[in-house]
Amino acid sequence: MALRPSWKDRFGPYLLSLFILGLFLLVWEGATRPPRFDAKGKTEDQLTTMEFNGDIVKDAAGHYLWNPDKVKGIPGPMKVFEKARTELGEAFVKKGTNDHGIGLLVGYTIKRFMAGFLAGSVVAILLGVLIGLSKPLFLALNPFIQVLKPISPLAWMPLLLYSVKDPFWTAILVVFMASLWPTVANTAFGVNSIRKDYLHVAALLEMSYLRRLFTVVLPAAAPAIIAGLRISFGSALVAVVPAEMLLGELGAGYLTWIEWNNLDISGVIFAILVVGFVGYALDFAFGKLAALFTYTEV
Amino acid sequence: MSFLKVDHVSKLYPVLDDKAKRGESFVVFRDVTFEIRQGEFLTMIGHSGCGKSTLLNIIAGFDQSSTGGVILEGREITKPGLDRMVVFQSFALMPWLTAFDNVRVAVRQAHPDWPPEQIRDWTQKYIDMMNLHGAEQKRPAFLSGGMRQRVGLARAFAVEPKVLLLDEPFAQIDALTRGGIQEELVRMWNATRNTVFMVTHDVDEAILLSDRIALMTNGPEAELAEIIEVTVPRPRTRAELIDSPDYVRIRNHILHFLVKGAKKSKHTGKDAPAAPAIESKPELQPTT
Ligand SMILES: Nc1ncnc2c1ncn2[C@@H]1O[C@H](COP(=O)(O)OP(=O)(O)OP(=O)(O)O)[C@@H](O)[C@H]1O
Ligand SMILES: [Mg+2]
C-alpha cells in the first residue's frame, strides 16, 4: 500500500484542467474559423473590386480568400493569443496619454483597488466595532446597514461623481463604497456575538479599553471580520472594472472599453482575461493574508 | 473582620415569559449568608438550577445581587477585578493565543510594571507547576480538555488573586483525567494556600479538596442549608481518602442530603460548624 498519494491522485485533476482547456480552445477555434471564400458566380470585375476594397486577398497559389483582418465575428484563440503577445511585449510602454501598456494599466487598477479597499476596510472595521460594542447602537443602526448593503456600488457613482466632480476620486470612492457594507455588517455582528467568556476574562484582568479592543475584541471577532472583508473584496473587485469603464479612468477595465471602441474584439477578450487573472491574483494574496488571522475555535 | 463575606445575598429575576405572573419575580436563591476565612477552601454543592453559578458570578462581579452584598476584606464587590480570578467550566481560553500567551496576558495585566523577562519567567513557573511543559506553544484547540483546564488554572494561580473562584472546573473533563488534575489542584493549593470558592456537582471532588462544604437546597428559592466541616486530615490523596472513616461519613451525609434533604425549602442549622452525627445509609450507593 502506497503512503504517498499516487501519481494519478496528485496530478490527475491538473491534467483534467489542461484537457478541459485544450478542449475549450479547440471548440473555440472550430466555432470561429473564418468561412471559405467562394469565388463561384462572381465576375472578374467584382473580384477585383473586392480585392481593391480589401475584403478579399490572393494567397500564394493565386486563390482568393476572405481578408483575415476584416473578418467579422468572434476572433479565434490564435488571434487573441497574437494580441496578447504584442500587448504583453509592450506591457510597460507609454505610447500616448491614453495608450499605456497593459502592465501599467493593471498597475493603475490594482492601485485604485487597493486605495479604495484599504480605506473602506479601515473605516468599516472601526464603524463595525463601534456599532458591535454597543447593543443599542447595533439595534439602531442595523436597519440602515441592511438597506445600504444590497445597493450596487455602481449605483452610487452618479451621486459620487456629482459631489466630488473628479473621475479619479470617484473611481476610488466607488471601490470604497463597495468594500464598506459587508465588512461593517460582519464586524458589528462578530463583535456583538463575542463569547461572554472572553469579555469576562478581559474584565477580570482589568484590561483598559484599548487593550481589551486589541487583545480580546478584535481577535475574537477576526473570523467574522475576515469573512466580511472577503465579501467586500469580491464586491470591490467587481466594482472597479465597470467604474473604470464608465469613468474613463486608465486601467484594466478601461482597456476593455477602449478595445471595444477600437472594434478590436480580440483586444476585448484579452482585456477580459487580464481582469480575470488580476482578480485571481488579488484574491489569492488576500487568502494568504487571511490565513494568518484565523484560528480554531474550542 | 472576615476575609470574604457573602451577606444575605438574594437573586431575583422578573418573570417575563408568563403573562399571568407579570410583575412577580422569580427567586433563584434567597438570603444566602456565609463567610470564607483567608486561605480556606470552601465548596458549594447543590442540584442544578439552585443558583451556584449565579452566586459565583456575583462574587466574581459579573452579576449583581438583588439584595445583600459580598464583602472582600471590608470592601463591597461591585465589578470584576484581578483580586478574584475565575476558573471557568468552559475554560475560557483565548483560542488565538498559545497556552503560554494565555497565561502571560494575565501576568502582564497583574504586573504592568514588570519587565518582559520577569513576566516570561513568572509565566513559565506556573506553566511548569501545572505540568504543561512542552505544550507552551500550542493553541487551545490542540490541547486536550485536561490540558486546557491546566492552562486555565495556571492563568488563575499566576495572578495570585485574593480569592479563586472555580465553577465546576472539571465538569468537562473525562473522569480518568479528572483525578490527576484534581491532585494537581491540591498540590497547587497546598503550595499557595489561596482562598478558594468552588462550585461542583461532584461529592468526591468536594471532599478531596475542601475545608468546608456548603449545601444548597433545590431551586427555585434555594437556600443555604448547612455547611459541613471536612474533618479528613490533609494532605489528602484520592487513594487514602476512600479508607478514611470521616470520608465515608461525610460522603453519605452529603448524598443523603442531595437525595432527600435538599427538597425541604426550610433550612435547618444554617452555618453549622461541625458535621452532624454519622449517618450510614447502606442503601445509598456511591454514584459519582
Ligand atoms: N437571565 C436570567 N433570567 C431568568 N432566570 C435566570 C437567568 N439566568 C439564570 N436564571 C435562572 O437562575 C437559576 C440558577 O441558574 P444557575 O446557572 O446559577 O444554576 P446552577 O446552580 O449553576 O446550575 P448548574 O448546576 O446546572 O450549573 C436557573 O433556574 C436559571 O433558570
Ligand atoms: Mg452552573
Grid coordinates representing A150 are: 444590497
Res A154: pLDDT:
83
**A214 and A117 part of one domain:** yes
**Cβ–Cβ of A204/B82 closer than 8 Å?**
yes
Q: Is A295 on the interface with B (CB under 8 A)?
A: yes
Query: How confident is the model over B191-213, as a mean pLDDT?
Result: 92
Of the residues B59, B78, B96, the best mutation for testing chain A's interface (the one with the most A CB atoms within 10 Å of its CB) is B96
Low-confidence ranges of chain A (pLDDT < 70): 1-3, 68-72, 91, 97-98
pLDDT in tens, A7-51: 777 888 888 989 999 999 888 888 877 777 777 777 778 888 888
CATH of residue B248 = 3.40.50
Position with higher pLDDT, B114 vs A164: B114
- H or E element that contains B185: helix B175-192
DSSP single-letter state for residue A213:
I
pLDDT in tens, A135-157: 888 888 888 888 888 888 888 88
Residue nearest to atom 8 of ligand 1 (CA): B54
pTM score, two decimals?
0.78
CATH of residue A200 = 1.10.3720.10
Residue A191 sits in which domain range? 102-291
| Ligand 1 center to A214 CA (angstroms) | 32
B50 C-beta closer than 6 A to ligand 1:
yes
Res B268: pLDDT:
44
Please give the Cα distance from A116 to A232 (Å, whole number): 11
Please tell me the distance in Å from A108's CA to the nearest CA on chain B.
37
**Burial grade of B79 (CB within 10 A; 0-12, 13-18, 19 or more):** exposed
Q: Is the pLDDT of residue B276 over 50?
A: no
- Residues of A whose CB is below 8 A from B79: 203
Strand, helix or coil at B173?
A: coil
Please give the Cα distance from A273 to A266 (Å, whole number): 11
pLDDT in tens, B137-176: 999 999 998 999 999 999 999 999 999 999 999 998 888 8
Residue B61 sits in which domain range? 1-76+204-288
Q: Is the pLDDT of residue B273 over 70?
A: no
Percent of chain B past pLDDT 70, that is, above it, reads: 90
Residue nearest to atom 18 of ligand 1 (CA): B51
Please give the Cα distance from B35 to B58 (Å, whole number): 15
**A62 and A110 part of one domain:** no
The total number of structural domains that make up chain B: 1
Residue A109 located in a structural domain: yes
Residue B123 located in a structural domain: no
Res A71: pLDDT:
64
A 10 A CB-CB count for B180 gives 14
**A154 and A48 part of one domain:** no
**A113 and A205 part of one domain:** yes
B51 C-beta closer than 6 A to ligand 1:
yes
Percent of chain B past pLDDT 90, that is, above it, reads: 66
pLDDT in tens, B19-34: 777 778 899 999 999 9
Please give the Cα distance from B133 to A94 (Å, whole number): 62
Taking CA–CA distances from B109, the nearest residue in chain A reads A205
**A66 and A164 part of one domain:** no
Q: Quick one: which ligand is closest to B18's CA? A: 1
Residue A34 located in a structural domain: no
- Boundary residue ending a domain (A15, A50, A70): A70
Query: Do A232 and A184 touch, CB atoms closer than 8 A?
Result: no
Band (B264; pLDDT cuts 50, 70, 90): low
Pairs of CB atoms within 8 A across A/B: 62
The total number of structural domains that make up chain A: 2
B52 C-beta closer than 6 A to ligand 1:
yes
Query: Do B92 and B156 touch, CB atoms closer than 8 A?
Result: no
Of the partner residues B80, B106, B142, the one whose CB lies closest to the CB of residue A203: B80
| Chain centroid offset of residue A67 CA | 35
Residue B220 located in a structural domain: yes
| Ligand 1 center to B75 CA (angstroms) | 26
Cell 476574562: give the residue.
Answer: A201
**A268 and A124 part of one domain:** yes
**CB interface of A with B, residues 254-273, below 8 Å:** none
**A59 and A142 part of one domain:** no
Res B285: pLDDT:
42
| Ligand 1 center to B51 CA (angstroms) | 5
- Boundary residue ending a domain (A28, A50, A70): A70
Res B284: pLDDT:
40
Among the ranges A107-121, B73-87, B250-264, which has the highest mean pLDDT value? B73-87
Taking CA–CA distances from A205, the nearest residue in chain B reads B82
Dihedral sign (CA B124, B129, B130, B132): positive
The number of the ligand 1 atom at minimal distance from the alpha carbon of B54 is 18
C-alpha closest to that of B51 among B271, B165, B268, B220: B220
Q: Is the pLDDT of residue B283 over 70?
A: no
**A201 and A256 part of one domain:** yes
- Looking at this predicted complex, what is its ipTM? 0.86
Residue nearest to atom 26 of ligand 1 (CA): B48
CA distances from A50 to A39, A47, A70, A72 (A): 11, 5, 12, 16
**A136 and A279 part of one domain:** yes
B49 C-beta closer than 6 A to ligand 1:
yes
Res A236: pLDDT:
87
C-alpha closest to that of A131 among A144, A112, A150: A144
- Residues of B whose CB is below 8 A from A215: 94, 105
Residue A140 located in a structural domain: yes
